Amino acid sequence: MRSSDPQQRLRDAGLRVTRPRLAVLAAVEAHPHADTDTVLGAVRADVGQVSHQAVYDVLRVLADTGLVRRIQPTGSVARYEARVGDNHHHVVCRSCGSIADVDCAVGETPCLTASDDHGFTLDEAEVVYWGTCPACRAPARTDISHPPDTEGHR
Ligand SMILES: [Zn+2]
Ligand SMILES: [Zn+2]
């Protein structure tokens, strides 16, 4: 189990504990799937003025050491999350780009057990489910509580 203490997590990853690193880690934790600008805004609210480049550099270091996970659905900017190591997947709204976590289909990281690994040692599988989120789908419905059952759902 990883430590819940951010300072310890940085040390465990062999990183020096710095205020910007702690702030970025906290920002990613507080805003799952945030893009760089969102992280930057949260970090600035926390520690004051810090450059875009500094935050970008910290994000790269944290991603390289596995403390945060970088995801980039097609057509989206890079997003970051602090939920790492469980190989969970994502569902992405085609309309507004919102992202939610989807656990592996069954059991402990079963998606890493490929039907044929071609001799590779697998450490990550990335599945992106695409669709339309409830918020984007809602306006088309006149009565959400009693949708007509013939309404285009396969
Ligand atoms: Zn949406
Ligand atoms: Zn996620």
Ligand 1 centroid from CA 127, angstroms: 18
Ligand 2 centroid from CA 53, angstroms: 24
| pLDDT value of position 107 | 58
Q: List the one residue out of 51, 68, 71 whose CA is nearest residue 59.
A: 68
Kindly tell me the burial class for residue 62, based on how many C-beta atoms sit within 10 Å of its own C-beta (0-12, 13-18, 19 or more).
buried
Write down the residue that tokens 């999350």 correspond to.
81
| pLDDT value of position 112 | 73
Single pTM value for the model: 0.77
Ligand 2 centroid from CA 147, angstroms: 30
| pLDDT value of position 154 | 46
What is d(CA 65, CA 14) in angstroms, rounded to the nearest whole number?
Answer: 8
User: Of the ligands numbered here, which is closest to the C-alpha atom of 31?
Assistant: 2
Residue 7: C-alpha distances to residues 21, 26, 36, 60 (Å): 9, 11, 22, 18
What is d(CA 34, CA 4) in angstroms, rounded to the nearest whole number?
Answer: 20
| pLDDT value of position 86 | 81
| pLDDT value of position 87 | 80
Please tell me whether residue 35 adopts helix, strand or coil conformation: strand
Ligand 2 centroid from CA 49, angstroms: 28
pLDDT tens per residue across all 154 residues of the chain: 567 899 999 999 999 999 999 999 999 999 999 999 999 999 999 999 999 999 999 999 999 999 999 999 888 899 999 999 888 889 999 999 999 999 876 656 667 777 788 888 888 878 889 999 999 998 665 555 555 555 444 4
Ligand 1 centroid from CA 130, angstroms: 10
Which residues have CB atoms below 5 A from the ion given as ligand 1?
Answer: 93, 95-96, 98, 133, 136
According to DSSP, the residues that pair with 102 across neighbouring strands are 89
According to DSSP, the residues that pair with 89 across neighbouring strands are 102
User: Of the ligands numbered here, which is closest to the C-alpha atom of 68?
Assistant: 2
